[in-house]
A and B are shown apart, each in its own frame.
Chain A
Amino acid sequence: MAAHAESHNPALLHHFATEEQQRNSASFGMWIFLATEVMFFGGLFCAYLIYRRLYFGDFAAASKSIDALLGGTNTAVLICSSLTVVLAVWAAATARRTLLLSSLVVTMLLGCVFLGIKAKEYKDKFDEHHVPGATFSFEHEQVPNAPEGVYANPRHAEIFFALYFIMTGLHALHMIIGLGIFAWLLIMAWRGRFTPEYHTPIEIGGLYWHFVDIVWIYLFPLLYLIDRHA
C-alpha cells in the first residue's frame, strides 16, 4: 500500500502531501532567502549611501577612475544572461531539451564573461594602487565638476574603494555560487531529471540568478556613474 503511494513520483519527498505543496514550499523558501539577501546587501548600501553623501566629491573622483565602459558591458552581459535563464525555465516547462541545455550553457558562459571582465577591472585597480591598504595612493585626483585644483581626499576615496571592493566582491562571490548552482542544474538536465511537472530547481535557481543580476543593476550606477553627467 505504502509502496504504491510512493511509486508515482520519486522527486516527491516523503514529508510533503502533494507535488504542488513541495513546489510552493521550495519557491517560497527561495523568496525568503532572497529577502535575507536584500538585507545582507542592504547594510552595505546603507554604509555606501551615508559616505557618498558625506564625501560626495571624493566619491565622484574615485568613481571616475573605474572603467564605466567595462561596467556597462558587464551590465549588458548580465541582462542577456537573465534572458537565457528565462528561456531555460520556459524550455524546462515545455520539455524542450536542446533549448534547456543550451540556455543553461549560455547562461554559464555569460556568467564567466562577467567574472572575466570583473577580474580585468580588479587588475587595473591593483596596477593603479587603488586597492585599500599600505600601497594605496590617490593623490592629486581632480574632483569632477569642481574648480580646477580641488583634489579628492585620499582617505575618503579609500573608503569608496573599500566599499567598491567589498560590494562588487560579494556580488562576484554570489556569481560564483550561481555558476555552481547552474553547473549542477546542467548535470541534472543532462540526465533528464526535469519534466514539465517537475522543474522546481530550474525555477528557484533562476530566481537566485535574477536576484544577483538585480544587485548588479543597482551596483553599476551607484559605483560607476557618480556625477558623470558633465
Chain B
Amino acid sequence: MSMATATVQPVEREDYLNKHYGVGSWLLTTDHKRIALLYLISITFFFFVGGFFALLMRLELLTPAGDLVQADTYNKLFSMHGMVMVFFFLIPSIPAVLGNFLVPMMIGAKDLAFPKINLLSWYLYIIGGVMMTHCILTGGVDTGWTFYTPFSTAFSNSKVIEAGLAIFINGFSSILTGLNFVVTIHRMRAPGMTWSRLPLFIWAHYATSIIQILGTPVVAITLVLVVAERALHLGIFDPKLGGDPLLFQHLFWFYSHPAVYIMILPSMGVVTEVIACFSRKRIFGYHFVAMSSVAIAVFGFLVWAHHMFVAGISVYAALVFSLLSYSVAVPSAVKVFNWTATLYKGSIHYDAPMLYAFGFLGLFTIGGLTGLFLAALGVDVHVTDTYFVIAHFHYIMVGGALMGYLGGLHFWWPKISGRLYPEGWARLAALIVFIGFNLTFFPQFVLGYLGMPRRYYDYSHMPEFQVLNVLSTAGSTILGIGYLLPMIYFLWSMRYGKPAPDNPWNAAGLEWQTQSPPTTFNFVEEPVVTWEAYNYDEIDAGHKQEAPVVG
C-alpha cells in the first residue's frame, strides 16, 4: 500500500526530542523540557557521586575500628556526601527536572516565562558542579556540609573556599529556577486555569519557589562572608577576633532549614498527583492541601534556631523556636490526613508510582513525627549530634523527598521519554528501595537514642553498637541496588520500551492531553480549561462500560 507514492514513509510524529539533533541543539536549547533532561542527567551523576561517599561511610562503620579510611578521609566523606546530595542533587531534583518539564505544561503554557534564564540556571548549576567536582578530586573539604565557623574559616585544612564558591554559584541556579516558576505561574496560565484549578503540584512548586527566592540569597551572602573571612583573615565569625560564630549559624540555618522544605514540598506535590490518579478520586480538601504548602513555606522561615538548641542561644529564644517548630507539623499533618482521606473508598491501583507514594506516606510520617521529638527541647538536648538526628532527616530527605522524586519520575516517564518502563521491574525496585531504606535508617534511630554520635569513624570504645551498624550497612547496599535498577531500566526503556500512549494512566491534568513526548511548544492549540483539577469522576464516567477497574 505504501508503494503507491515514493514519498510515503512511516513518519515519526515530530516531538521535542526528535525535532532537532546534535549536541548544539541540546546545549543551546531554551526548551524547558530539554533543559529538564539536561538537569536529569547532571543530577543523576551527582546522586551517584554522593551515594558512593555514603556507601564508603557505611563500609567504614561495618566494624567498630577505624580500619577502612583515616579520620581525615572520613570527615571529608560525610562533608562531601552532604554537600553533593543537598546542593547538587536534592535541591534541584524535583523542581529542576520534573518541575521544569511539567510546570509550563500543567498550566497550559508553551514554555517558562524566561527560557534563556532557565538555560542560564542550568549552566550556573554546571559551573558550580564542575567546581565541586574539582574540589572533590583535588582533596575535598572536611567542614561538614554546614561550614561551621570558626573551624571552616580559621582551622580546616581543606578546600573550603572552592566548595563555598561552588555552592554560592549553584545557589543562583536555584534562585533563577524559583523566579522563573513564580513568574510563569502568575503570568502564563492558560485561559480558564484559575488559581483554584491549578494542580497541587503547581501549588507545591509555587511554595518551593518562594523559599528559593527568599532563602537562597541569605546563604549566598553567608558563604561570601565565610570565603572572605577565610581568604582575608577577617574576624566576622571568629570569636578570637571579636566575631560571633552563632551569627554564622543563624544566617546559615535561616536558609538551610527552609531548604529542607525546598526538598520536601515538591515531593509532596508529586505524591498528591500520584495519589489522586491511582485512587481515581479528586483530592480530598483541595484548598487545604494547596494552602498547607504555602503555610509550610511561611512557617519554615520561622524555625531555624531549633538547629542551635545546644549552641548557646538564650532559653527564651529556644522556647519560642521550639514552639514554632511544632507549628510546621500542622500543615504537614493536614497534607497527610488529606492524602489518606483521598485513598478512602478510592479504587486504588498499585502501579509503581503509587508504591513510591505509599512509601512516601509512611516514611515521611515517621520522619515528621521524629522531627517533633527533636523540636522538644529536652529530647533534643539528649539526642543532639547523634544518629537519631541522622535517621530523622534521612527519613525526610530520602524517605520523603527521594521517594517522591522516583515516584514522579516513573509517573511522568511515559510523557518525558515517550516509552513505557517495565512495570514489573519498577514495582520490584520500589519494594527494594523501601526495604533497603528502612533497614539502613531505622537502626540509626535506635543507635542515636542509645547515644552513638554522628560523624565518628571509629566506635571501638562502644562495640555494642556493631550489630545495629551492620544492619544499617547491609540496608545501604540493598538501597544502592534499588537505586541502580531504575537507572538501568529507564535507559533500557528509551530504546526497547513499548511506545507510550499519550495518557497511559488515564490521568487528569493538561500535561496528559498533549502527545507523548510533547511537541516543542507543548500544545498544538492553546488549551482552554473549563474543568476542576482531578476530575477523575468525569474522566472515569466515560469508561464505566469498558472494563471493571482492576488493582
Contact = CB atoms under 8 A, between A and B. Distances in A.
A94 interface: no
B544 interface: no
A132 B220 CA distance: 22
A89 to B, nearest CB: 21
A39 B188 CA distance: 26
Given A158-B234, A162-B235, A32 B247 contact: no
B324 interface: no
B218 A163 contact: no
A46 B244 CA distance: 13
Nearest to A154: B242
Nearest to B251: A43
Interface in B147-204: 175, 179-180, 182-184, 186-188
B85 interface: no
A47 B110 contact: no
A46 B179 CA distance: 24
A36 B217 contact: yes
A29 B217 CA distance: 16
B242 A39 contact: no
B236 A162 contact: yes
Contacts of B232: 132-133, 162
B215 interface: yes
B235 A36 contact: no
Contacts of B111: 15
B27 interface: no
Interface in A56-92: none
B216 interface: yes
Contact of A156 (B183, B224, B242): B242
A158 B113 contact: no
A166 B251 CA distance: 16
Given A24-B187, A39-B218, A156-B242, A14 B110 contact: yes
Interface in B221-255: 221-222, 224-225, 228-229, 232-236, 241-244, 247, 251, 254
Contacts of A159: 234-236, 241-243
A145 interface: no
A39 B217 contact: yes
Interface in A24-67: 24-25, 28-29, 32-33, 35-37, 39-44, 46-47, 50-51, 54-55
Contacts of A39: 213-215, 217-218
A40 B255 CA distance: 11
A133 B251 contact: no
Interface in B99-158: 109-115, 117
B242 A55 contact: yes
Interface residues of A, number: 38
Contacts of A9: none
A47 B225 contact: yes
A163 to B, nearest CB: 7
A162 to B, nearest CB: 4
A15 to B, nearest CB: 4
A55 B243 CA distance: 11
A29 B235 contact: no
A28 B225 contact: no
A32 B182 contact: yes
B279 to A, nearest CB: 34
Nearest to A37: B217
Interface of A: 14-17, 21, 24-25, 28-29, 32-33, 35-37, 39-44, 46-47, 50-51, 54-55, 132-134, 153, 155-156, 158-159, 162-163, 166, 170
6 contacts: A16-B188, A21-B187, A29-B180, A39-B213, A39-B217, A43-B221
In the A-B complex, list the 4 residue pairs whose CB atoms are closest, starting with the nearest. A40-B217, A43-B221, A15-B110, A15-B111
Interface of B: 109-115, 117, 175, 179-180, 182-184, 186-188, 213-218, 220-222, 224-225, 228-229, 232-236, 241-244, 247, 251, 254, 521, 526
Given A15-B109, A21-B187, A158-B241, 5 more contacts: A25-B183, A32-B213, A39-B215, A43-B221, A132-B235
